[in-house]
Amino acid sequence: MRPNKLSRSEIISHCAKQFKQHGYAGTSMQMLAQSCGLTKGAFYYYYSNKEQLLMDILQEIHQQLIGYLNPIANDQSLSVAERFTTMHSKAVQYFSIGEIGCLMAIMSIESLHTLPEAKPLIRDFFQDWENAMYPLFAEKYDEAEARRLAKQSVADYEGAILMYRFTEDAFYIEQVERRIKNEIGVN
């Protein structure tokens, strides 16, 4: 019997939730198949191993980040305050409230030892996030300081998202927003 037709985005959405909940090592092909409403055998029609699936998920998340943040970061018709407010809102929605959340951060720690081929994808993801933040700081600071602040902002967001997930207290994300607004001169 032929498996149900699922789109790539449906598979990625269902399976990303499994990786987010159970981590890479704790997620089996059986779990991935069940999350898609498929038998394990039918799931192999789409993916023969979870490594390639995870790589595709990470690439999709990376593309979504670029699609969400870069157009805003580079929209010169908006003030720095408007760009940051919009970027912050999208980042909070996507990384902390969204159904996938920050799977990139979750996988980054685990992949260092279990899936080293994911490291370049994860590195590029964080670099592109920094690049999206850079124009906000570049209007007020020299290049070196703007780069430093962009890197620090991504690190702050990642830590805040982790703490938010753990405590369900928005304080951490609100503090990141407050610090960045202060640094770019937005009150």
- The yes-or-no verdict on residue 3 having pLDDT over 60 is no
- The yes-or-no verdict on residue 186 having pLDDT over 50 is yes
Cα 171 to Cα 104, 125, 159: the distances in Å are 22, 25, 12
End-to-end, the C-alpha distance of the chain in Å comes to: 61
> How far apart are the C-alpha atoms of 105 and 74, rounded to whole Å?
25
pLDDT of residue 101: 60
3-state secondary structure labels for all residues of 8-46: HHHHHHHHHHHHHHHCCCCCCHHHHHHHCCCCHHHHCCC
**Higher-confidence residue: 134 or 100?**
134
Question: pLDDT per residue over 55-79, tens digit each?
Answer: 898 888 888 888 888 899 899 999 9
pTM: 0.78
* Chain mean pLDDT for the chain: 87
